[in-house]
Structure 1
Amino acid sequence: MFEVQQATPGERSEWTVVAGGSRILLVAETDRARLLAHFEAVRAGFAETLDALVADGLSRTPAFALLDTSARPALLAVRGMATATVDESGREREVRASGVSSWVETQLVDPATVSLGASGSGDALPLVEGVVRAVGVVWSTAQDAEDVGATVAAPPRRERDTGPVDAVPDIVAGPAVEAFAPEPEAEAGPEPEAEPEAEADPHTRVPEATFTDVAAASPAEPAKPADQSGYDHLFGATMMRSVEDAAVRPDEEDEAAPPRIALPGFITDSFPPAAGRLEGDHDGLTVMSGDLPERSRPSADEADAAPPAPAPQRFAVLLSDGRREPLSAPVVVGRAPSISAVPSLRGARPVTLTSAEDDISRSHVAVAVEGDSVVVTDLHSRNGTMIVLPGTSPQKLRSGEPTTVVLGTVIDLGSGATLTVEAAG
């Protein structure tokens, strides 16, 4: 909620206050159609309001003061004769746009009170949303806290019903259910002829006795043969061998075995057998780990002398007017740049660059560092952006599409306004 400063009787005000959501606009405008357009833009957002104000060109843009308190830090923009008084942590300062052809835009980290326009000597009336004529408007954090407490009301308390409870009436017995009487059997007709028994399948095994017959025929505890021991009764043919017979011995040479292949000397001499290895245990072709020489390990001094990791590359841009802007944070370059035009670039800062023909857009191009590369994005400028990579012909950027460039790339905004990507010292 905002407090609108009314003019005194007989006093004429050239300012109009447009309120919508968490944004307030003080503008020197009286046209009804333009005010309705500003009202819809204020309800939409901060950047949308700026676009609506400069819709007819910068030269026809009226004086205004715009405040957006929907997030922290709050945004404030002032143009022309409009003024804003800000109270931050007990320190009061005034924001003006004198000597600026576009407007002054700033961020308010912890504002307590913000006054747009004159204080006035008339009555102060509350305004939540709408369009009214006034000499000024005031916003404070205390008013926002009161608005939240007034709108979030506690739900009405529901009292418990402790009255007497009616007794449940007894269930009225219904008519008795008649006993079920089976229907008389129908007269028996002629019995159907018995079907001939099917012949047994010769492949089907028919048991000779049922489980009952087997239980009756078998004794309760079968007698165990005296000569059985251990689990031999579970196997039909258990072979018993002595330890001498089960011992493993090397196979005797078979006269019918094929003769061994005599390998050339350059193969057998390349990998001499290790000491203590049995003859014939190596085929002459397999390289064993024991045959390889030990690898030397680096000493502690050599390990400490390893080269350190290279420092990350730092970049900067050289403007055509001689200024040098480091890219420690993203920059938005244009005739009157606004960081709200690129909300995705956190921590971006505006850099103003003009030309003789004044063909540069308000927020023309954004330059940022991603990893070890520089990325350039044309912000839907009016005349477009050209880039010239070293050793290549100029090419035009696509609007809104980030493009990676290298050191030495020239970014041409038109009318002689350029930016050159360099390495920061």
Structure 2
Amino acid sequence: MFEVQQAAAGEWAVVAGGGRALLVVEPDAGRLRTLLPAVRAGFAETLDALVAGGLSRTPSFALLDASTDAVLLAVRGTASAVVTESGRERTVRATGVSSWVETQLTDAEAVSIGDGTSEGALPLVEGVVRATGLGWAAAERPEDVAATVAAPPKRERDTGPVYAVVEEPAQPDLQTRVPEATLGGVSAESESASEDADESATPETAGYDHLFGATMVRSVEEAAVRPEDEEAAPARIDLPGFITDSFPPAAGRLEGDHDGLTVMSGDLPRRSPAAEAAETPEPVPAREEFAVLLSDGRREPLSVPIVVGRAPSVTAVPSLHGARPVTLTSAEDDISRSHVAVVVEGDSVVVTDLHSRNGTLVVLPGASPQKLRSGEPTTVVIGTVIDLGSGATLTVEAAG
């Protein structure tokens, strides 16, 4: 949420939406309505909408994007911003810059744009209003607001005593008749018949079926399992012949001094110096560094990826971490704002046309010019000329 200083009339207006706010000099109400969808869409989309009529017709503005952890700020023309970081204030202006100043605020506590005084300020989440300034504070982020919402009270646990319910044993049914033979036990005749049956049974029973249903009571000493001869030596492992024959015993070794399983260092065949030299790895060549020579005489190293154009923005290529913008203009001013990206991948230089308006040509040494496909990375070599149009070129060179 932002705080704006409203004005009844004037050229300055605030367009807010999607966690972003734009303070711009725009007297036309219809133009302000068209800027609202761009502000909702994103930071780069808002910059594209502002420069749609050309850089010379771009009005003074200050754009603040507080939708992410890293706050983005862009200032152009007469607009200015006061940034508070770690209790200290600094002013961001675009004095002497033909395009605009773009910076990233990682530790910003508050930002005041234009007449961003807190007196008489009104809150604004989304919309378009006439205003002379706006302010933003880090404590007003959505996640901080959510942290102030009271959590529902937790339900207290029941810590009272727990009682076990013991069921009464069921009473026998008095109407059920139990046979006397069951209650009295087995008669003597039945025991005698059972003994006769056991003597007539076959003494050897195959398998363990005769043990099921019977309980065997044995002492711990009897149940212990031991080898037949505890003093017997462990069994010798018979190795295949192709292993035992590969390492013949060393000359002069006493019989019984080798167990036949351990390979001694003296048993290994000696390696020739030529074999050791052949396996020595060759030194890895040092990584070659590159640079580009711009048509205006500047030389830019490719230690980090660069984005080249008339008003480049590193947010146009979010996949290039740590990219650096490089401004390059031409007489006809027909170079796109973010025209090409140049990055070193391994030992090669890769050029990508960033969907520029007039396209990009590359001229490899000894080859005819070819046009790059938009958004498709292309590998080039040292000596390649990257033509952006109207005489604006980049030449790939070796850094040194």
TM-superposition CA deviations, 1:68-127 (whole Å, max 9, x none): 122232211111111111112233211112222221111112111111112358511111
Residue type matched to 2:294 in 1?
L
Matched, 1:416 2:391: yes
Give, as a single letter, the amino acid of the residue that structure 1 aligns with 2:303: S
Q: How many residues align?
A: 296
Q: Deviations over 1:116-169 (max 9, x none)?
A: 112358511111222211111011112337952477442477899xxxxxxxxx
Residue 20 of structure 1: aligned partner: 17
Match of 2:79 among 74, 79, 82: 82
Alignment correspondent of 2:26: 29
Separation of aligned partners in 2, 1:368 and 1:25 = 32
Residues 361, 387 of structure 2: 8 Å contact kept: yes
Matched with 1:360 is: 335
2:118 equivalent to 1:143: no
1:32 positional shift: 2.7
User: What are the residue-to-residue correspondences of 1:169-248 with 2, within 5 Å?
Assistant: 221=202
1:237: which partner in 2?
none
Shift of the 221–147 alpha-carbon distance from structure 1 to 2, 3 Å rule, reads: closer
- Distance apart, 1:51 and its partner CA: 1.5
- After TM superposition, give the deviation of residue 341 of structure 1 in Å: 1.1
Partner of 2:231: none
Question: Which residue does 2:314 correspond to in 1?
Answer: 339
* Paired position in structure 2 for 1:407: 382
Structure 2 counterpart of 1:4: 4
Q: How far apart are the structure 2 equivalents of 1:150 and 1:35? A: 34
Task: Give me the whole-angstrom Cα distance separating, in 2, the residues matched to 1:126 and 1:87.
Answer: 20
1:300-315 pair list within 5 angstroms: 307-315=282-290
d(CA) in 2 for partners of 1:82, 1:41: 20
Any gaps of 5 or more consecutive residues in structure 2? 158-199, 205-268
Counterpart among 34, 56, 59 of residue 56 in structure 2: 59
Quote the RMSD (CA, aligned, Å).
3.0
Q: Using the alignment, how far apart are the partners of 1:315 and 1:74 within structure 2?
A: 32
Deviation at 1:399, TM superposition (A): 1.0
Separation (CA, whole Å) in 2 of partners of 1:299 and 1:74: 63
Report the 3-state secondary structure (helix = DSSP H, G, I; strand = E; otherwise coil) of the residue aligned with 2:37.
helix
What secondary structure does 2:272 align onto? coil
Mapped to 1, the partners of 2:148 and 2:127 lie a distance apart of 19
Q: CA deviation at 1:305?
A: 7.6
Q: Secondary structure at the residue paired with 1:354?
A: coil
Q: 2:109 matched to which residue of 1?
A: 112
**1:147–1:296 Cα change, 3 Å:** closer
Match of 1:387 in 2: 362
1:258-313 Cα distance to aligned partner (Å, 9 max, x none): xxxxxxxxxxxxxxxxxxxxxxxxxxxxxxxxxxxx67333999699854322222
| CA distance 1:22–1:121, change in 2 (3 Å) | closer
- Bigger shift: residues 54-63 or 392-401: 54-63
2:95 aligned residue (76, 93, 98):
98
Distance 2:107 2:87 in 1: 11
Is 2:301 aligned against 1:326? yes
TM-score, L = length of structure 1: 0.63
C-alpha distance in structure 1 between counterparts of 2:128 and 2:334, whole Å: 35
Between the two proteins, what is the percent identity of the paired residues? 74
Which stretches in structure 1 are left out of the alignment for 5+ residues? 161-218, 224-293
Structure 1 contact 334–360 (Cα < 8 Å) conserved: yes
Contact 1:120-1:135 at 8 Å conserved across structures: no
* Structure 2 CA distance for aligned equivalents of residues 150 and 410 of structure 1: 55
Shift of 1:359: 2.1
Give TM-score scaled by structure 2 length.
0.67
Q: Is the partner of 2:48 in helix, strand or coil?
A: helix
Residues in 1 aligned to 2:117 and 2:82: alpha-carbon distance in whole angstroms: 14
Aligned partner of residue 141 in structure 2, secondary structure: helix
Partners in 2 of 1:89 and 1:303 — Cα distance?
Answer: 61
Tell me by how many angstroms 1:343 deviates. 1.1
Q: Mark the CA change 1:152 to 1:34 in structure 2 (over 3 Å): closer, same or farther.
A: farther
Inter-partner Cα distance in structure 2 for 1:2 and 1:361: 32
Relative to structure 2, which stretch is displaced further, 367-376 or 139-148?
139-148
